[in-house]
Amino acid sequence: MKLVRKNIEKDNAGQVTLVPEEPEDMWHTYNLVQVGDSLRASTIRKVQTESSTGSVGSNRVRTTLTLCVEAIDFDSQACQLRVKGTNIQENEYVKMGAYHTIELEPNRQFTLAKKQWDSVVLERIEQACDPAWSADVAAVVMQEGLAHICLVTPSMTLTRAKVEVNIPRKRKGNCSQHDRALERFYEQVVQAIQRHIHFDVVKCVLVASPGFVREQFCDYMFQQAVKTDNKLLLENRSKFLQEIPRDGIKRT
């Protein structure tokens, strides 16, 4: 779902303009539109015309109408939403108060106005417009001091966070600066994972790196999770997979 415009006032009245892009977006739209809302969208209207000779005919014209919603019907197989209501704005083809049915479908923009937007509906819009909520695979691509947190959707790979920490080289007989910087780096990566990966959606988190960085990081992450009783990480531990070039995939 693409959010084109959003204008919500302090009293929670206002309107949003959206474009459904995927079939699933039509289901979200069905759950957004309610009786009593106003819906504005492009539509086709059959209009009667009379020629100079007095003969009457009809033409189909495309126009933009604003309806007060009275009924909603969702055809899941055709991926189409039919919204019936009365016209509430002046139009050259449709009288005020006349009934019409707007058919919404993917890639057709519409504007939905409500007298009261509640938090549940606004959260649904936020989730529908955020690709992260359709990404069921995540990846942590890292090397010592640098990590990217990525989400993989059916159509694209999104980099949601970049973590970069300067790691001093190990010195003979003194590794304390190196170890402290590495621990700080690991902790920032853990925080980024928790912030950007929705574990109720993501089914798999692939951790990839050269050398043993991935193993050392995963060991650190879950040792800390046990110490701090981090239920989010512990309950989703089985979703973390380590990429190993020779031996395939190692489960953390």
pTM for the whole structure: 0.62
What CATH number does the domain located at 2-132 have? Answer: 2.30.30.870
Alpha-carbon span 145 to 159, nearest angstrom: 17
Domain borders along the chain are 2-132, 136-242
Tens digit of pLDDT for each residue in 152-197? 876 668 888 999 999 988 777 677 888 899 999 999 999 999 999 9
- Alpha-helical (H) ranges within 17-146 are 23-32, 119-129
Confidence at residue 100, expressed as pLDDT on a 0 to 100 scale:
96
Torsion of Cα atoms, 112 then 117 then 120 then 124, to 10°: 20
Alpha-carbon span 199 to 239, nearest angstrom: 9
Tens digit of pLDDT for each residue in 205-244? 999 999 899 999 999 999 999 999 999 999 999 999 986 5
Q: How far is CA 234 from the centre of its chain?
A: 26
Which CATH number, 3.40.220.10, 3.20.20.70, 3.90.1150.10, 3.30.420.60, labels domain 136-242? 3.30.420.60
Give which of 34, 36, 48 is closest to 95, Cα–Cα. Answer: 48
Residue 96, pLDDT above cutoff 50: yes
